[in-house]
Amino acid sequence: MIKCFYDLHIHSALSPCASNDMTPNNIINMAILKGLDIIAVTDHNSAKNIGAILKVAKAKNIIVIPGIEVETYEGIHMLCLFRNLEDINIFDKLIYRNLPKVRNNENVFGEQIIFNEDDTYKCEEMQMLLNATCLKLNEVIKLVHLLNGLIFCAHIDRLKNSIITVLGFIPENLAVDGVEIISNNNQNIYDKQFKKYRIIQNSDAHYLGNIYEKMNNIYLQEKSINGFFDYFGGGK
Amino acid sequence: MKINDLIIDSSFKLITGQNPDVEIKGFYTGDLLSWVMSHAKEGDAWLTVQTHLNIVAIAKLLNLSCIIIVENAEIEPETVIKAKAENITLIHTNYNSFEVIKSILVKDD
Q: What number of C-beta contacts closer than 8 Å exist between A and B?
A: 32
Alpha-carbon dihedral B6, B7, B11, B13, rounded to 10 degrees: 140
pLDDT of residue A223: 95
Q: What is the pLDDT of residue A234?
A: 58
| CB half-sphere exposure, A17, CA atoms < 13 A | 13
pLDDT at A180 over 50: yes
Nearest to A135 by CA among A70, A68, A44, A67: A70
Residue B11: pLDDT over 60: yes
Residues of chain B with a CB closer than 8 angstroms to some CB in chain A: 31-37, 50, 52-54, 57-58, 76
Neighbours of B6 (CB within 10 A): 24
Would you give the distance in Å from CA A140 to the centre of its chain? Answer: 14
Banded pLDDT at A46 (limits 50, 70, 90): very high
Instruction: Determine contact, residues B70/B95, Cβ cutoff 8 Å.
Output: yes
Tens of pLDDT along A140-161? 999 999 999 999 999 999 999 9
**Averaged confidence pLDDT in chain A:** 95
Order across the sheet with B12-16: list the strands: B12-16, B90-93, B66-69, B44-48, B26-29
What is the spatial distance between Cα A27 and Cα B73, in angstroms, rounded to a whole number? 41
Q: List CB contacts (< 8 A) between A75 and chain B.
A: 31
| Residue A101 exposure: Cα atoms within 13 Å on the Cβ side | 1
Q: What is the pLDDT of residues B14-42, one digit of tens each?
A: 999 988 999 999 999 999 999 999 999 99
**Helix H or strand E segment including B50:** none
Instruction: Report pLDDT for B22.
Output: 94
pTM of the predicted model, to two decimals?
0.94
A77, A139, A167, A174, best to mutate vs chain B, most B CBs in 10 Å: A167
pLDDT score of A45:
98
**Backbone torsions φ then ψ of B72, nearest 5 degrees:** 60, 25
Nearest Cβ partner of A169 from B32, B50, B54? B54
